[in-house]
Amino acid sequence: MDWLTVTAARVHSYSSSLVSDNAIRIIHDHRHIMASSSTATEKARNGRGPTPPTLRNPNDAPPSPSLRATSINRDATGARIIVVMGVSGTGKSTLGRALARATHMPFIDGDDLHPATNVAKMTRGEPLEDEDRLPWLETIRRTAVACVLDQVGEEAVEAADGVRWLGVIVACSSLKKTYRAVLRGEGVQTLSLQSLPTYVVYLKGERDVLLARMVHRQGHFMKADMLASQLDTLESPEGEPGVVTVTVDMSTEEQVQRVVQVLGGSS
Ligand SMILES: Nc1ncnc2c1ncn2[C@@H]1O[C@H](COP(=O)(O)OP(=O)(O)OP(=O)(O)O)[C@@H](O)[C@H]1O
Ligand SMILES: O=C(O)[C@H](O)[C@@H](O)[C@H](O)[C@H](O)CO
């Protein structure tokens, strides 16, 4: 078995006990997306076709210092989770995807991990409560950790800012301080990586702007009349460690630039 297979098998066995099938699908989708984006970057850089990804056998000699700095080692040193948070309609999915493109990190949309019962409840216009959100938040943390484990030993692709970003971007409302604690790994049982550093990008916006966006948004289960409960539930993360605030009146590009400026290179 090569290292890729070992990694995939480990993630699968890890995931099967702690992470849903949907999460496994998302991780595998990311592998595909990352492979495509690496290929595109490679082609753009040297005008040639793709080169196979560099996969390291864990029994090989330790990597040179320069390689160690640009790949996730077996303890996932250098990797981090970046959570994009805010109430409904702030642009978490939009910014999360844009950040993933800019940094070549994989992206997990927390909405894709809601159990059907949560989606049904929100579709009926009923706000979620702590007991609905806590198991979902644990699933998000475990999926993010599994996604990082899946990258162990792989070289990160250099982003336009020259930084090789390691880890995963997650979009999740993360409305309360206790929810963010779960996303940071507090009290969540995982097989490893309890200390994977977690940063928060806070999308901050005024009610009127968000309401206008939600009213105009088509085909989404979360309707505009849910905004009030979202804002009532929100506990601002400002003042907590590792938080970058961006406002919803900034363009997505400006938001990406701000996050890259603050978090680029730090881990
Ligand atoms: N920076 C921005 N400027 C203007 N419009 C934006 C910006 N970011 C996102 N939008 C728009 O706002 C709407 C909500 O964006 P998005 O779905 O990404 O938000 P969200 O926080 O993920 O929402 P939800 O949590 O309800 O799924 C979309 O129509 C999107 O195109
Ligand atoms: O914590 C929550 O109440 C949920 O995460 C919501 O925020 C929705 O999932 C999201 O807004 C989708 O529209």
Residue-wise pLDDT for 23-50, tens only, equals 555 554 554 444 444 433 333 333 333 3
Q: Residue 256: its pLDDT value, please? A: 97
In this prediction the ipTM stands at 0.97
* Exposure on the CB side of residue 248, measured as CA atoms within 13 A: 21
Distance 19 CA to ligand 2 centre (A): 20
The answer on pLDDT for 87 being more than 60 is yes
Determine how β-strand 107-109 pairs with β-strand 198-204: unpaired
Ligand 1, atom 26: nearest CA belongs to which residue? Answer: 88
Starting from the edge strand earliest in sequence, which strands make up the sheet with 198-204, in order?
Answer: 107-109, 167-171, 80-85, 198-204, 243-247
- Cβ–ligand 2 contact at 90 (below 6 Å): no
Q: Are 265 and 156 in contact (CB under 8 A)?
A: no
Ligand 2 centroid to Cα of residue 72, in Å, is: 31
The SS3 assignment for 73 reads coil
251 lines ligand 1 (CB under 6 A): yes
Q: Give 222's DSSP letter.
A: S
CB of 205 sitting under 6 A from ligand 1: no
Residue 247, Cβ neighbours under 10 Å: how many? 15
- Asked whether 138 lines ligand 1 (CB < 6 A), one says no
Q: Which of 182, 187, 184, 188 is nearest to 200 (CA)?
A: 184
SS3 198: strand
CB atoms inside a 10 Å sphere around CB 55 = 14
Residue nearest to atom 4 of ligand 1 (CA): 251
In this structure, is the dihedral angle defined by the CA atoms of residues 264, 98, 251 and 184, taken in order, positive or negative?
negative
Tell me which residue has its CA closest to atom 10 in ligand 2: 88
Task: For the chain, list the domains and their CATH numbers.
Answer: 3-49+66-263 (3.40.50.300)
Which of the two residues, 49 and 201, has the higher pLDDT score?
201
pLDDT confidence of residue 11: 37
97 lines ligand 1 (CB under 6 A): no
pLDDT of residue 138: 93
Residue having the nearest C-alpha atom to atom 5 of ligand 2:
173
**Cβ 258 under 6 angstroms from ligand 1:** no
Mean pLDDT, range 74-80, rounded to an integer? 76
Gap between the Cα atoms of 15 and 215, Å rounded: 37
Residue 61's pLDDT band, with cuts at 50, 70 and 90, is very low
Highest mean predicted confidence (pLDDT) among 46-60, 73-87, 129-143, 150-164 = 129-143
**Cα 88 to ligand 2 centre (Å):** 6
Across the range 179-189, mean pLDDT stands at: 88
pTM higher than the cut 0.80:
no
Higher per-residue pLDDT: 90 or 221: 90
